[in-house]
Each structure stands twice: as structure tokens, then as C-alpha cells.
Structure 1
């Protein structure tokens, strides 16, 4: 009789275990995480494996090693949140942590109105079609938003809407940044769409933004993007005044000559 073979179970990932608790708020900046020896005993794995996993968090800027004491969680500002691995962790684990959500929303508030303003000046017919297609997808899946699949599709179309605006700037840095930021933006978008009590009003805010870009009205696009993000913040229960970066930005009363209004 042929011997049956079975694949060995994968060993526990200490980095995944710790990052889940860190992003979830159990361990906050300044807190020490469990010692190597304690992690070895808890998960029944050798010390070299534990060190290898801890190194992943050190390289991501999330932990710092303190000789003779162990590992401590670093301040959020030190985290390499644009690293693909860190953004993937953000998507999976950061939702319960309001401080991280505030930082992401603050960044979006500081960046996306300017992106929308630039898109209103540079968008081509193809760009406008991509924005409109994403918007139509948002509307189609909104009617059945009580279903999990439709909520997910609505959020995917919402993300595609924002990505299309980034691409419409025709700036290679902005376009690439939209891909890097996608997991983080998806997290705020999906949560806000799930919690929002004004889904129809949210869709209307997106429509106003789309129309401002289509009509090549940069100042209106800037304000419309702010309104979209204000709705996201309200759904998440976050205020811009509580963030480190986000704040209302007033445009000059006399628009610069470069505005094509």
C-alpha cells in the first residue's frame, strides 16, 4: 500500500500576529511587544523564525529593536505606509484603529482636491469616460447595497472613480501614487460606504465632482473633492480638526491665470 503523504502545516507568522494587534490598537506607539522568548514558547517555534518575522516589522518601520529590552512600537509617522506590504496589512487589519483612519483621511484631504483641480484642467475624453463608467457602476450597485457583493462592487467602483481622477492629471507620479495608495483608500471608502446613512447624497457629491472635471472648472472640482471627503469623514465619525494634516483649504479669491475657467 502506498504511503499517504501530507503537507506540513505552515508555521505561525509572528509578524502577522503582531501587526494585527498593533493595527487593531492593542499595542500602541511606545508599547513593548512580547519578548522573543515568550513568542517562541507561545507559538512553539524556534528563535530564528521569530527574529526573521520581527525583522519584517522593523524594516517596515513599525517596530524598533532596543538592545537588552526587546521591541517597541514606533510612532505612526515612522511607519512606511506606502510600502506594499504595509498597505496590505492596513487593508486587512487597520479598520478598527481610528488613529490610522484619521491619518489616511487627512492625507487624502490634503492631496485629492489638488488632484481633482489638475484633472479638471487636463482630462481627455478617454479620462472622462473612465470617470463616468466608474460613477455609473457606483450608481448601479447602490440600489442593492444591502447585499454584501453589491457593497463590495460599489466600493470597487468608488475606488475606480478616484483612480481615474488621479490618472486624468496626466502626471506619472500622481498616476503611480494612486496604485500605491489603493489599499489605504479602499479601506476608508469601503468602511464609509458601509456606515454611510446618506448613500444617495454621497453619490450626488461624486456626480458634482465628475461634472466639475467634465466642464473644466478647477476651482469647483477642488471644492467638490473636499465635499466628497467631508462625507467620508462624517460617515467614519472623524473630524478634520482631529487630524494632524487635514484642514479646510481656502483658494485665492482671484484664480491664477493657469486655471482654465
Structure 2
């Protein structure tokens, strides 16, 4: 039942402020007792997705209340989320505020092995794009691996672990933007410039290149990133 409601909420059938079916109706629909219904609803409550309102039922909470870094929530997001501009905008704004710094740090600290991992992911992206029979899902997998490799190239255990937690959220944007991109060659070139800036140990260039990659993602998705740094005059901090 929790899976059913998660799919209905993440796909947009239930929107924030909507009430999900009452316990008695869910118990009848799934042929389970009400204690089992409450147990499944508790999963969604603990994930910040719904709230129980005494005497009224269970209501979907606003997106910003969802615990999107909870492993269960990220799994639901990856499996069930329909293209949702509000969720996409929040994820993109976060990535715009974080990933330029990650790229800049990677340019300072990446090891030879890190550079190989980034290059192998990029080569996979290029190969799948050039292959007329290429698999779009496989291309997206290489794209995701490219960004995860940059997180790991910071040589910081927190960023490295965070890349695994963020992977579903990053995947959600990458898969959607790759499907809607009108100029995949330009996107590939932006990724190449980011890779080259990291390989050249050029932190400021890496910072700008990461911004350009994410600007392309925003354009492909047709969304504004909100209050992130895209389009501002904000500059990377000076090299230490």
C-alpha cells in the first residue's frame, strides 16, 4: 500500500494539500486490516511526504517538507516521479549552488585515477551519442557516472558519500534533460570543457564550466533555477 501511495504522489496524481484515501477505504481496497494500513502510512509520515490530521485523514505535504535525501524517498523518486517542474527546480537550484564548488575542488585535488574515471564516463557518453543505435538510458548512465566521478575527485569522504545519496536526484534531472535536449552535441562539449578544466588543474575554469553544464540542463528542461547562482555576476572565490 505504501508503494501504491508513493507512486500516486510522486507521479502527481495526488498533489500537495490533497488528501489520500481514508484508512477504511485503503483497508478495503488492499484487503488488509487498519493496523497494517497505519503501518504503511507511517512510512510516508516518517518520510515527510504526508501528515496525519486528526479527524480528517492524511494530507500530502508541500515538496519542501519531503525528506528527499532519505534512501526510501530517493528510491521512490527514481522509480515513480513524473517530470515535476517544482521538484526539478529545487534539485537544479541545489546543484547550481553546490556542483561548481565540487568541480573547483576536484580541479585542485583529483588523482590520476579520478581523472581516468571522469574520462571513461565522458567517453561512454560520447560513444552512445555517436552511435545511431545508441541507448539513451545508457547515455544517461554514463552522464550520471561523470558527475558522480567529479564528486569523488574532491578526495573528501563527505562529498564522496553524498554523491551516492544525491545520485537519484541527479539521475532525475539528467534523464529528463537528455530526453528533451535539442542540441546534444553542445551538451557533450560543455561536459568536455568541464573535464578538461579539471584535468588542467584550473579551479576557476572548472567552476564556470560546471555552471555552463547546469545552465544547459536548465535550458533543456525549460525551467528557471530559482534563487541559485545561474545568470548572476557571482564569481568563484580566488584560489588559495
Question: Among 133, 139, 149, which residue is 1:154 paired with?
Answer: 139
In 1: Cα distance, 2:133 partner to 2:75 partner: 26
Greater Rg by CA: 1
Question: Among 104, 107, 118, which residue is 1:131 paired with?
Answer: 118
In 2: Cα distance, 1:63 partner to 1:54 partner: 8
Aligned to 2:17: 30
Aligned to 1:95: 82
Please show how residues 213-228 of structure 1 align to structure 2 within 5 Å.
Answer: 213-228=198-213
1:257 to partner: Cα distance: 4.3
CA distance 1:56–1:245, change in 2 (3 Å): farther
Is 1:56 aligned to 2:43, yes or no?
Answer: yes
Aligned to 1:176: 161
1:104 to partner: Cα distance: 1.1
1:252 to partner: Cα distance: 4.3
Aligned to 2:188: 203
Secondary structure class of the residue paired with 1:212: helix
Aligned to 1:232: 217
TM-score scaled by length of structure 1 = 0.87
CA distance 1:246–1:74, change in 2 (3 Å): farther
1:246 to partner: Cα distance: 5.7
Gaps of 5+ in 2: none
Aligned to 2:238: 256
1:77 to partner: Cα distance: 1.6
1:156 to partner: Cα distance: 0.9
In 1: Cα distance, 2:83 partner to 2:35 partner: 31
Superposed CA RMSD in Å reads 1.7
Secondary structure class of the residue paired with 1:57: helix
Secondary structure class of the residue paired with 1:65: strand
Aligned residues: 240
In 1: Cα distance, 2:217 partner to 2:209 partner: 13
1:249 to partner: Cα distance: 5.0
Give a deviation string over 1:79-109, Cα, whole Å, max 9, x none: 1111111000110111332211111111111
Contact 1:103-1:244 at 8 Å conserved across structures: no
Give a deviation string over 1:127-173, Cα, whole Å, max 9, x none: 111111111111111123655xx211111111111011001111111
